[in-house]
Amino acid sequence: MTPAISKFVFVMLAIGWYLIRYEYARRARRTPVKRSDRGTLETALLLISLTGLGLLPLVYVVTGFPHFADYALHPVQAWLGLFVAIAALVMFQLTHRALGRNWSVSLDVREGHQLVTDGIYRKVRHPMYSAFWLWAVAQALLLPNWVAGFSGIVGFGILFFGRVTREEGMMLETFGDRYREYMTRT
């Protein structure tokens, strides 16, 4: 696999991601938010993640910048990136399907919010985060550039470690012992 093809695979990953998310985001907007933890910190974390998973790799794919950080792409690395990208999309789809209208881009509890413990959530407590980690790894494998390739791991890592504790707290406040029990199973 050539660098041009691996960049194409990355673009297809991004398009697939958008297509999966679009319909669920449209549906979720119809369900009012009951409680939210949106604010300056959440906005900053989302922007950092967007920069690492979207903006920097897009600039690299379109312009090749920053050239100084390029390295030779090994075909095995690129093929592995393809398989990880497919796994990311599958995990992303399964997560959205299980969440339905409970899904939100931010830390929100919606009216009638349900604790989802079936589907992919039966085994993985945070499959959406798992899907994003897979995206970040696929990006590192597909884009042979030390900056653009690894910016997803850094950008999403900052969001993940800055958010997961707050999300767990919100779920504990909302669902109490049911969520504690779920935490012990997953």
Three-state secondary structure call for residue 63: helix
Distance CA 153, CA 137 (A): 7
Distance CA 141, CA 149 (A): 7
> Residue 76 in contact with residue 142, Cβ under 8 Å?
no
Q: State the pLDDT at residue 134.
A: 98
Helix or strand holding residue 84 (H, E): helix 75-99
pTM: 0.90
> Residue 56 in contact with residue 143, Cβ under 8 Å?
no
Bridge partners, 70 (sequence order): 145
Q: State the pLDDT at residue 54.
A: 94
Distance CA 128, CA 102 (A): 13
- Give me the residues of the chain with pLDDT under 70, please: none
